[in-house]
A = this chain, B = another copy of it.
Amino acid sequence: MTTIRAAVDDDRDAILSIIAPVLRAGETYAIDTDLSDEQILDYWFMPAHAVFVADDSGKILGTYYLMANQRGGGKHVANCGYMVSPEAQGRGLAQAMCEHSQGIAKNRGFLAMQFNHVVSTNTRAVALWQRLGFEIVGTLPKAFRHPVHGLVDSYVMFKTL
């Protein structure tokens, strides 16, 4: 039974083991690839982030953060980042976390959700977000330097909640 719940301090090691390889691969998140474990956790747990985990009877299989994408006049739009453990790929966990995050966002008064930088080569993510109602509202030409593919486009994706 997998439940999605707010992260607690005891989840930090498990979260690190999921997110560190993804960030260090540098293929999907616009974050430095040479961060220390501590810097990675500081990033994921930055004060603006509300962090959640997908907990399968005590085993953490995925995590996401939710934050306001902008401040002031832009603070009604949420932003999220999701990561799934390699062993849990293909089980619908990213979808479950995205749907969960939309519910949390609505509860917190957000009116929309925006992903600022979906790397175009991350086709599985793009297709999933589209299936969940997000639209590509912008294309950023060659805005991401992929370690394998070089400069590739990124998408801005948006969904009104």
A89 within 8 A of B: no
Nearest Cβ on chain B to A118's Cβ, whole angstroms: 12
Contact A158 B137 (CB under 8 A): no
Chain A count of residues within 8 A CB distance of the other chain: 38
Contact A144 B26 (CB under 8 A): no
A160 within 8 A of B: yes
A14 within 8 A of B: no
Scan residues 114-154 of chain A and give those whose CB is less than 8 A from a CB of chain B. Answer: 114, 116-117, 119, 137-147, 151, 154
**Interface of A toward B, CB cutoff 8 Å:** 23, 26-27, 29-33, 70-77, 111-112, 114, 116-117, 119, 137-147, 151, 154, 156, 158, 160
